[in-house]
Amino acid sequence: MRARFCPQCGTAAVAGARFCTACGSALDGSRAGPAGGATITTAGVATLGFFLVAGLAIWTLILSPTPRPPGPGGGAPRASAPARALAEGELPPDHPKITLPEQAKTLLAQIAAKAKENPTDKDAWLRLGEAYYRAAQLDPSYYPEAKEAFQHVIELAPDDPDALRGLANLHYDRDEYAEAIAAYEKYLAKRPDDLSARTDLGTMYFYAGDAPRALAVYRDVLARDPKFVQAHVNLGVTLHQQGDDQGARAELETARDLATDDAIRRRIETMLAGLGGGPPTAGGPAPTPFQSAVEQAFRNHPIMGPKIVRFQWTGPATGRVEMRDFPMDAMPPAVREKFAARLAEEIRTAQDKYGVTDPVKVELADAASGAVMATVTP
């Protein structure tokens, strides 16, 4: 099954694209790259590869006649803010940054010129706003131009739902909570049955510091559709923030059981692991505080976390973590060294915190073959 959003970095999948436009990871479980069967990995793909991926996909991304589907049940899920807070750490320093290809910039200029030639053409300006918004997913410098275009539509038609939704999503992405809330509320007055937008409204309440109102919104969404996965996830995260880990775990487990996409299930499993509800350490007694800290640090890693199958501890400070579909040998040596160094620093932090004096060694192994891909020592 093709992923609806990137299982590595969370970027919404482009219709028809085989690889993520932000990090280059395969969206269909394939390891073949877009040219000549080269292996694609998040850390190891060449910069040229990202431009090729973007060059092939950007036309669909920008020319699509309708806005990007905004949530589970409506297409590619938005990466909800509270879910990001629990499920993802910051991307590593060497995570590639994609820029908009020159051909796409030329196309944007053409769309802008057409809109400016017709200042009263609402549809032309809405198309421009949507194109700029899509471009901003790759290059955030386009957000102001997207906002200006959507606002122009609203000047022409104050209650236009598509422009209101576009502005709401834009403010959501930029963590402008009050503005997003106002736009979502106006939009939902026009389209009250859009549960994805209603869920995003709850997320903005959460980030604005109004957790009780966020809880009410998520529960309202689930009363309308008990199988709406993103509302279960966001409700779980909000309950966790309120100190109700039992309720949070129940919601995340429900979301995991309802999810039909493997990538979404893996992300939810990572969140459950962060709550202490993930797969137990294989074999032996419960992990020590030091071991638990290492496990959580590894599971919280935005790239390797979703790939982890199990931990095995062979001693107080020696262990093995098995991962699925994580070809470290495809990484360039410099990237592999940085990756291992970051993991070593996480281990060292836990070692210092819990006063572990035994020699520390953690093997990174392939779950399918059992082969050790790297050994991490602080």
Same fold, 47-274 and 289-376: no
Query: Does the pLDDT at position 217 exceed 50?
Result: yes
In angstroms, rounded to a whole number, what is the distance separating the alpha carbons of residues 124 and 343? 49
Query: Does the pLDDT at position 23 exceed 60?
Result: no
Does the domain spanning 47-274 belong to CATH 1.25.40.10?
Answer: yes
Question: Which pTM was predicted?
Answer: 0.56
**What mean pLDDT comes out for the span 326-343?**
80
Query: Does the pLDDT at position 80 exceed 60?
Result: no
With CA atoms as reference, report the closest residue to 147 among 127, 171, 123: 171
Count of positions (residues) in the chain: 378
Highest mean pLDDT out of 67-81, 146-160, 357-371: 146-160
Specify the CATH number of the domain 289-376: 3.30.300
**What mean pLDDT comes out for the span 211-230?**
94
Mean pLDDT of the chain: 74
**What mean pLDDT comes out for the span 310-314?**
82
Contact at 8 Å (CB) between 326 and 25? no
Least confident of 47-61, 70-84, 134-148, 171-185: 47-61
Domain residues of the chain, as ranges? Answer: 47-274, 289-376
pLDDT of residue 341: 86
Query: Does the pLDDT at position 358 exceed 70?
Result: yes
Greater pLDDT, 328 or 9:
328
Greater pLDDT, 30 or 362:
362
With CA atoms as reference, report the closest residue to 143 among 129, 156, 126, 154: 129
* Alpha helices in 174-228, H assignment, sequence order: 177-190, 195-207, 211-224
| SS3 call for 341 | helix
- Residues 42-54 have pLDDT tens digits of 222 232 223 333 3
